[in-house]
Structure 1
Amino acid sequence: MTAADDKNDLRIYIQDARDALLWKLEGLSEYDLRRPLTPTGTNLLGLVKHVTGAEALYFGDTFGRPFPEPAPVWITGQTEPNGDLWARADESTKEVVGRYRRVWAHSDATIEALPLDAVGKVPFGARHEQTLHRVLVHMIAETHRHVGHADLVRELVDGATGQRSDGANTAPGDTDWWRAHHDRVERAAREAGGLA
């Protein structure tokens, strides 16, 4: 396998994560895109906003290729804690998603322009110097982690599951099948926990 093949494989995985994250937003109201469904406020549009900032930083500033638009305040530290994990009412979905798409185009240009062993400087943390390969692996893991969060939030919103809108990677089953499956899992948990 060549370095070009390695880079292409990594690009496929990061794009797969990006696409999965955005499909989680499809067909939902502004309220459902933004509503917090965990005690810590996790919401779909906020996850996109967070990953946008992470990509802009890791593939931009780290390699001396800053994203050409003004840095979002969550990158510059000019917002409250978790300010990158939710969208204000005056931040449109179109704006948040559009910025994400522009950031990933900028990231892809960095990935294309540099070899995997190119070294960049992350502006925080103990391990400042990182190769493009390491940053790509980190952002693949980071994005897929947040896709997992989005999976759960979307399921809580309207029951939609899976990595893609066609549901091809989830077990087939109608509402009754899933209810029975849920009940079976609950019974096993109760039995294992001595609650049966």
Structure 2
Amino acid sequence: MDAKTSLRHALQTGREALLWKLEGLTGYDVRRPMTPTGTNLLGLVKHLSYVEMGYFGPTFGRPVPEVEPWLADDLEPNADMWATAGESRDDVLALYRRAWAVTDATVAELPLDAPGEVSWWHPDRRAVTLHQVLVHVVAETHRHAGHADVVREMVDGAAGLRSGGGNLPEVDAAWWSGYRDRLEQVARDAAGR
């Protein structure tokens, strides 16, 4: 597998991991702010939509009118990290799929050494290649998929790499409760040293 194919595969794996974290949840639960900074599942999807559109559109001179308002200086802080009451789950998921199309077209049409410029980065680092941006967005997607892992577990206890778990031990709730209690005791013991 060549580098471009490998990076594209890693990006798609992160995208799919993020999306399954919304499966089976109510409209309230996908929007619930679960951290002091308001992190919520639908907001993570919306954020990554604009991340992909920005990095794989304007960065490489490929206009994406839908992302232009999100690059404005007067945008409300964190506006891309939550869905408004008027934006449905389907709206946000469709936005994410459109972002995938922007990314996938850019990656398919340009070589990894294609030059670009990330206008919102520090001037010393703005000059990039498609390869650098792909690595950056793969990392950001997986970082936010990790946030979604924690948020989903806080919402309803669902955990794991993919639907049905996939990478967690097959044990019952009592085992997890005992495991957590043991870790709590270890933390208390270590803090007392």
TM-score (normalised: structure 1): 0.93
CA distance in 2, matches of 1:144, 1:72: 24
**Aligned residues: CA RMSD:** 1.4
Change (3 A) 1:21 1:75: farther
Q: Percent identity?
A: 57
> In the TM superposition, what whole-angstrom CA distance separates every residue of 1:91-143 from its partner, at most 9, and x where no partner exists?
11100010101111110110010000001111122211110000000000000
Which residue in the other structure is 1:19 paired with? Answer: 16
Matches within 5 A, 1:13-162: 13-67=10-64, 69-71=65-67, 73-126=69-122, 127-162=125-160
CA distance in 1, matches of 2:40, 2:69: 19
Question: Is 1:194 matched up with 2:192?
Answer: yes
Deviation of the 1:73 alpha carbon: 3.5
CA distance in 1, matches of 2:148, 2:68: 22
SS at match of 2:167: coil
SS at match of 2:116: strand
TM-score (normalised: structure 2): 0.95
| Residue type of the alignment partner of 2:91 | E
> Any conservation in 2 of the 1:56–1:66 contact (CA below 8 Å)?
no
> Any conservation in 2 of the 1:53–1:75 contact (CA below 8 Å)?
no
Farther off after superposition, 134-143 or 117-126: 117-126
**Gap regions ≥5 residues in structure 1:** none
**Gap regions ≥5 residues in structure 2:** none
> Any conservation in 1 of the 2:41–2:148 contact (CA below 8 Å)?
yes
